[in-house]
Amino acid sequence: MTYESLYAALDINQKAIILKSNMKTILKTQDEIDEFYLRLKNDFSELNIHRELYKFRLEQQRNSSVIEIIYQEFQENPVKTLSDLFNETIVETHVKQMYKYKVNFGDMLEIRRKNKGIRFGDALSRLAIIG
């Protein structure tokens, strides 16, 4: 199953850009797309789609034995590195917020290591130096 066929099977609106982006970020392989579809068990409600996608994301993060992200990757492509680390859609604005609130990548790695299910925004808010 492709992303497009998944969207069609689930009747996902063309304007659901964030949901589609999150699906592409979390469901990286054909097998993962197929497994996700089967987990929905013919309940294609918006609530169930989001619930199962969230569960899928958490399972991936919990099953990740070693996170091998190096600082050089972050320097070369911080958006991709953070997206891979938190397994969610990250945009340039998120990276700018990190710098604005004086949050360094090492601290983000550490908080993610301690809590594999944490979302980027939650990690940023815990580490942010405001003022």
Of 43, 35, 45, 52, which Cα lies nearest the Cα of 1?
35
Rounded CA separation 34/104 (Å): 37
pLDDT at 113: 83
Of 53, 55, 43, 46, which Cα lies nearest the Cα of 13?
46
List, for residues 96-127, the tens digit of each pLDDT value. 999 999 999 989 988 988 898 899 999 999 99
Of 31, 28, 23, which Cα lies nearest the Cα of 53?
23
- 3, 33 Cβ separation under 8 angstroms: yes
- 104, 129 Cβ separation under 8 angstroms: no
List, for residues 76-101, the tens digit of each pLDDT value. 999 999 998 898 999 999 999 999 99
Rounded CA separation 128/101 (Å): 5
pLDDT at 64: 58
Return mean pLDDT, the chain: 88
- 101, 124 Cβ separation under 8 angstroms: yes
